[in-house]
Amino acid sequence: MKKVAIFGVGLIGGSIALSLKGQQDLLLCGYSNREASAKKYVERGVVDYATTSVEEAASDADFIFLCVPVGMMDDYIQKLSTIPLKEGCIITDVGSTKLSVMNSAKALAAQNVIFIGGHPMAGSERSGVEAASSRLLENAFYVLTAEQDTPPHAIEELEQLLSYTRAHIVKVDAAAHDTIVGAISHLPHIIAVGLVNQVRSYNDSNGLYELLAAGGFRDITRIASGDPPLWRDILLDNKEVLLQLLDDWQQQMSHFRTMLEQSDGPAIVDAFASAGQFRSRMPERRKGIIHSVFDCFVDIPDHPGIVGSIASELGKENINISNIQIIESREQIPGVLRLSFRTQEQLDDAIKLLQSKGYHVEL
């Protein structure tokens, strides 16, 4: 029987726990500094038992997952460095920055344990253990960052454990990880926040900005609604990478400004075409660090009961709708119904069903 201790049983920690739950050779222990949370982990069946004691959680653990915010990672590593740990214990984390965590983990050098950085690149619009799912990491990329002298058997053991999540393991250097993730996740969040705040400043003098932004603008800037303290810690932790990325971004914007100043239509077409070609090569159905949205838009006639009828049709086929929004529905004008789903499979099934019923559906 191997003991797996999970510090921070929220969305990610809870999802890892649920993917491991029920395996006969594993005992899952959850840690929280709040008694109510520890009790909730057990009541929801996410872990086998829980504790508010760091020492009890870490004692005799074969694997320790640090699923706490990046800003708290060093504190937990320092604490673990001062208490007895099982020889050969494999410690890993789930932080979205890796270089600083790997540096912090050097504090564990006096212990006969092995630290391997980790970053499951999946998420959800929800948070907390209530949002945890055994399928959250399925088909997602799970990055591991190990030192060059990390024993191969330890990496293999962690990979074997993570196989229960059904994620795709990718091994990369910590510095390279931070640069890549900075470009594909951290920078987009900064841009989204900056864009929303720019429009917010315009809205102070004309409320139409907020009113008309309810459609596409809201969709493309949804990541601007991230947890502020969490993103403060992530961005400051990856500061040097982001400063360079912001310099590169400003060059891109300067290039666009030049194209507009010169009314260079062909250059604008080329910019959109090259971006479109690169984007089309990206995997469509693979989970990524920015969680996917599985939405479709349905043209509906304006008559009573139509929304309920559509929901009922989907329910009969066990297709669960996570959210419904009526974008427009006025007398004598067809409405547009926005349906959201949890998975690509549910979206595909919904589109197929609705089209078979004669509805016009668009993505």
In the block, which residue shows the tokens 């809870």?
14
Which domains does the chain carry? Answer: 2-172 (3.40.50.720), 176-280 (1.10.3660.10), 294-362 (3.30.2130.10)
Contact 147, 106 (CB under 8 A): no
Using alpha carbons, select from 189, 75, 80, 67 the residue that is nearest to residue 136: 67
Q: CA 8 to CA 42: how far, in whole Å?
A: 13
Task: Report angle CA 324, 219, 69 to the nearest 5 degrees.
Answer: 100
Contacts by 19-25, CB closer than 8 A, 24 or more apart: 19/134, 19/135, 19/137, 19/164, 19/165, 19/166, 20/161, 20/164, 20/165, 21/45, 21/46, 21/47, 21/48, 21/134, 23/164, 25/1
Spatial neighbors of 129 by CB under 8 A, at least 6 apart, are: 9, 10, 11, 13, 14, 37, 40, 41, 44, 46
323 forms bridges with which residues in the sheet?
340
The per-residue pLDDT string of the chain (363 residues; one tens digit each, 9 = 90 and over) reads 999 999 999 899 999 999 999 888 999 999 999 999 999 999 999 999 999 999 999 999 999 999 999 989 999 999 999 999 999 999 999 999 999 999 999 999 888 999 999 999 887 666 788 888 888 888 889 999 999 999 999 999 999 999 999 999 999 999 999 999 999 999 999 999 999 999 999 999 999 998 888 767 887 888 888 889 889 999 999 999 999 999 999 999 999 999 999 999 999 999 999 999 998 887 655 555 555 567 888 877 767 778 888 888 888 888 888 778 776 544 444 457 788 887 778 888 898 888 888 888 876
- Beta strand pairing status for 333-341 and 294-300? antiparallel
Residue carrying structure tokens 């929220």: 10
A 10 A CB-CB count for 251 gives 10
| C-alpha span between 2 and 237 (Å, rounded) | 33
Adjacent-strand bridge partners of 31: 7, 51
Contact 62, 86 (CB under 8 A): yes
SS3 at position 181: helix
Residue written as token pair 């596409």:
216
Question: Are 144 and 155 a contacting pair, CB within 8 Å?
Answer: yes
Residue 22, Ramachandran bin (φ over 0: left; ψ between -120 and 50: alpha; else beta): left
pLDDT value at residue 105: 94
| Contact yes or no for 336/300 (Cβ under 8 A) | yes
- Buried-state track 219-236, b at ≥16 Cβ within 10 A, e below 16: eebebbeeeeeebebbbe
Per-residue pLDDT, 334: 47
